[in-house]
Amino acid sequence: MGGLRSDPQFMAIIEMLAAEYDLAVDLTAHGFQRFPGFGAQSTALLPAEKTQALLENLATLTPGKWIFVDHPAYDTSEMRATHHNGYENVALDRQGVTDAWTNAQVQATIVRRGIRLVSYGDVRQGLP
């Protein structure tokens, strides 16, 4: 993911495929900013801590257009085999992402605060 973007050759391939399949969405051009979600050290948080961090960050989110990118998954044997040096807890980390975004309190906070979740497709169609 991030490694692909740091290599100009891979980045050129990504850009070519995005253009070929009409997948490119320039979120900055649409006024989006990065939402901190779980905070700067998110991969070090346990699932319950991720949920708490997300609740706190949603509670203080200011009006605007925000982008949050992460990788929800389940803690399965397949995910436990996905890791690299320095990031060995991929399965637990990504289970935490799933747990946080499906948490009833998180969902209630989104509704209560009037936060509208949109997809890349929504943005491409001009929806705010």
Verify that 45 and 13 share a domain, yes or no. no
Domain with 2, as residue range(s), is: 1-25
78-123, pLDDT tens digit by residue? 999 988 888 889 999 999 999 999 999 999 999 999 999 998 888 8
DSSP states along 83-120: -BTTB--HHHHHHHHHHHHT-HHHHHHHHHTTPPP--H
Q: What is the pLDDT of residue 40?
A: 86
**Confidence check: pLDDT of 18 > 90:** no
Count of domains forming the chain: 2
Whether residue 36 is found in the same domain as residue 1: no
pLDDT at 9 over 80: yes
Question: 45 and 66 share a domain?
Answer: yes
Shared domain for 47 and 75, answered yes or no, is: yes
Considering the chain, what percentage of its residues have pLDDT values greater than 90? 55
Tell me the whole-structure pTM to 2 decimals.
0.82
Same domain, 18 and 35: no
Q: Are residues 61 and 6 in the same domain?
A: no
